[in-house]
Amino acid sequence: MTRGRLGILGGTFDPVHYGHLDCADAARDALALDEVLLIPAYDQPLRTNEPSADVYQRFALASIAVADRDAYRVSDTELVREGRSYTADTLRTLHAEGWTALQLFFIVGSDAFAGIAAWHGFPAFLDLAHFVVIARPGTTIDTATARVPELRARMCEAARGRAIPVDSPRIFLVNAHTRDVSSTMIRERLAASRSIDDLVPPAVARHITKHHLYGAVGRLHGQNERT
């Protein structure tokens, strides 16, 4: 079977939000990705606190968020594997399924990329896939890449229509607008009984409310905020 280009967006997704989806969309647009795979982490090793929702709810929320997107799907790879969710292990799993390093595009926000030197297996895992760095509010591409000057030789800018080097795994830099949203912001709003309608897809907000996640008890989706 001929495979195209697969984008991979990993994360705790506690919960998934428009910032995550904006990153995936920006990567897909800039690099002509055929599919994007969201992979909820079972246990994110660099996270200092436990997720507020269990992995099954986080998987459900991610699935709901992309249910109406034909080129997007959600993988239970890290959920099934359990244990620490290391990027290197996930990429090797995809290799075992028949993907090559040059077909895989691991999507990461500039804020996360700034700390990539602390990831398990650095820098060896950079040979397992292309990495796609998407600008995020608060951390510019320049700020993020300045933290890892030893990776400069791998880096190149990516944009729609620009030729993509395919001789070896690269780090593609994508300057795109992504919404200033974080999972922490969402949890804080819900704890204060405030609307999250502008932060997540409507179906995600409804699921959170229905299942009383993140303290969303008795709040109706779309209800106007009280001043």
Contact predicate 201/18, CB 8 Å: yes
Tokens read off for 182: 């974080």
* Per-residue model confidence (pLDDT) at position 224: 39
The Cα–Cα gap between 17 and 196 comes to 10
Identify the residue with better confidence: 84 or 108: 108
The Cα–Cα gap between 188 and 215 comes to 9
CATH code where residue 26 lies: 3.40.50.620
- Pick from 125, 132, 129: which is nearest to 32 by CA? 132
Does 89 reside within a domain? Answer: yes
The Cα–Cα gap between 4 and 27 comes to 15
**Domain assignment of residue 147, given as a range:** 6-181
pLDDT exceeds cutoff 80 at 219: no
**Structure confidence by residue, pLDDT tens digits, 47-83:** 667 778 999 999 999 999 999 999 999 999 999 988 8
3-class state of residue 185 by DSSP: helix
Angle between helices 202-210 and 55-65 (to 10 degrees): 150
Give the chain's mean pLDDT.
Answer: 91
Scanning the structure block, which residue is given the tokens 């795994």?
A: 169
Contact predicate 126/91, CB 8 Å: no
* Per-residue model confidence (pLDDT) at position 225: 40
* Per-residue model confidence (pLDDT) at position 180: 97
- Pick from 124, 87, 131, 90: which is nearest to 108 by CA? 131
3-class state of residue 104 by DSSP: strand
Does 219 reside within a domain? Answer: no
- Number of domain units in the chain: 1
From residue 18, alpha-carbon distances to 36, 96, 148, 167, 213 in Å are: 15, 31, 27, 33, 18
Angle at the Cα of 52 from the Cα atoms of 50 and 57, rounded to 5 degrees: 115
Contact predicate 104/128, CB 8 Å: yes
* Per-residue model confidence (pLDDT) at position 132: 98
List % helix, strand, coil for the chain (3-state, nearest 5): 40, 15, 45
* Per-residue model confidence (pLDDT) at position 50: 72
* Per-residue model confidence (pLDDT) at position 48: 60
The Cα–Cα gap between 145 and 152 comes to 8
Contact predicate 74/36, CB 8 Å: no
Does 221 reside within a domain? Answer: no
Find the mean pLDDT for residues 75-97: 94
Identify the residue with better confidence: 203 or 227: 203
pLDDT band (50, 70, 90) for residue 44: confident
Give the pairing type, strands 104-109 and 6-11.
Answer: parallel
**Structure confidence by residue, pLDDT tens digits, 139-191:** 999 999 999 999 999 999 998 888 887 789 999 999 999 999 999 999 999 99
* Per-residue model confidence (pLDDT) at position 66: 98
**Structure confidence by residue, pLDDT tens digits, 111-128:** 999 999 999 999 999 999
Read off φ and ψ for residue 18, nearest 5 degrees: -65, -30
* Per-residue model confidence (pLDDT) at position 159: 83
Does 105 reside within a domain? Answer: yes
pLDDT band (50, 70, 90) for residue 217: low
Does 225 reside within a domain? Answer: no
Does 187 reside within a domain? Answer: no
3-class state of residue 174 by DSSP: strand
Does 19 reside within a domain? Answer: yes
Does 203 reside within a domain? Answer: no
